[in-house]
Amino acid sequence: MNSLRNQNTIRESVSVTGFGYWSGLDVTVEFFPAPANYGIRFVRCDLPGQPDLPARIVHRSHSPRRTTICRDGVSVEMIEHIMAALYGLQIDNCKIVVNQSEMPCFDGSSQAFVNALVEAGTQPLDQPRSQLVVNETLRIGDDEHCWIQIEPCDHLKISYHLNYSNQPQIGKQEFEIAIHPDTFVNELGDARTFLLKHEADWLLQQGLGQRVSYQNVLVYGEDGPIDNQLRYSNECVRHKILDVVGDFALSGYEVCGHITASRTGHRLNGELTRRLLKHGQIIDQHAPQFISSLKSA
């Protein structure tokens, strides 16, 4: 077991403005410093009473291709790239004031959020950050294609297997990375969302993504990304890992374990997060005392 690091917040407030993929609506996201044990909470300043929504798995609600939290009919959608940026930078406490339901897409990665949060700076707080650890392997999904597991490890490490056999430009991609601020900023934060041309066409036909251009998402045609250059040859699998980071951030803890995933999306990521909270062990500042009192009993 690692010793617990201190919790962090941001040093000063910072904001970003963009538009949502699905709704096309303009949205401003303001990040504010918050005290220890506040966690990450979204505040909808556009609604009466400015309701707040803790970014926790209990409030996760199902919506296709994105991560949404909802409480008492109030929702915040597409939070995964924000959550990944906060988790990746070890910002544990932050109040996020937003004026729309759907979070901005920017270039399809966490980069705009990372830039803003780095600019705000990190402020250590005088409380330890609790960890969520696994003592046995937990696995869900099917046996062959689509599954995710977490096994014991003293830090968060993620391995991902992607296989788009019908789209040779993506093909098979595998990547493994230990998650900490340096690796997140340098190897994951700017990896962008991708989809196939026929999926993009279908979404447009449904009236979705009307403001989205090839600069907001990697759209794969027969010859690779349309009107865009890859940032990494394996950018797709890196983005899938970024999504895993954002989804597990909803646990509310620093996760210690080795996650291996094969072709999962937000739904299975969320389900394993729930299971981890049920079967994992929480290490906080009280845990060592608890263990020593057991020994002396």
* Stretch of 88-96, 114-122, 242-250, 269-277 lying at the interface with Zn ion (CB under 5 A): 242-250
Minimum CB–partner distance for residue 147 and Zn ion (Å): 19
Nearest CB to Zn ion, comparing residues 127 and 163: 163
Q: Is residue 59 flagged as an active site residue?
A: no
Nearest CB to Zn ion, comparing residues 96 and 283: 96
Residue 41 CB: number of other CB atoms within 10 A? 19
- Distance (Å, rounded) from C-alpha 272 to C-alpha 149? 8
Nearest CB to Zn ion, comparing residues 75 and 269: 269
- Distance (Å, rounded) from C-alpha 89 to C-alpha 104? 19
Nearest CB to Zn ion, comparing residues 41 and 266: 266
Minimum CB–partner distance for residue 211 and Zn ion (Å): 18
Q: Does 243 bind Zn ion (CB under 5 A)?
A: yes
Nearest CB to Zn ion, comparing residues 92 and 243: 243
Burial track 261-289 (b if 16+ CB lie within 10 A, e otherwise): bbbbbbebbbbbbebbbeebeebeeebee
The residue at minimum Cβ distance from Zn ion is 243
Total residues at the site for Zn ion (CB under 5 A)?
2
- Distance (Å, rounded) from C-alpha 134 to C-alpha 107? 34
Minimum CB–partner distance for residue 21 and Zn ion (Å): 10
Chain centre distance of CA 76? 14
Residue 127 CB: number of other CB atoms within 10 A? 16
For strand 26-33 and strand 14-19, is the pairing parallel, antiparallel, or unpaired?
Answer: antiparallel
Which tokens belong to 220?
């794969």
Q: Which of residues 74-93 bind Zn ion (CB under 5 A)?
A: none
Burial track 48-86 (b if 16+ CB lie within 10 A, e otherwise): eeeebbbbbbebbeebeebbbbbbeebbbbbbbbbbbbb
* Stretch of 6-14, 175-183, 217-225, 240-248 lying at the interface with Zn ion (CB under 5 A): 240-248
Q: Does 234 bind Zn ion (CB under 5 A)?
A: no
Minimum CB–partner distance for residue 192 and Zn ion (Å): 8
Q: Which of residues 184-213 bind Zn ion (CB under 5 A)?
A: 193
Q: Just list the catalytic residues.
A: 266
Sites of contact with Zn ion (CB under 5 A): 193, 243
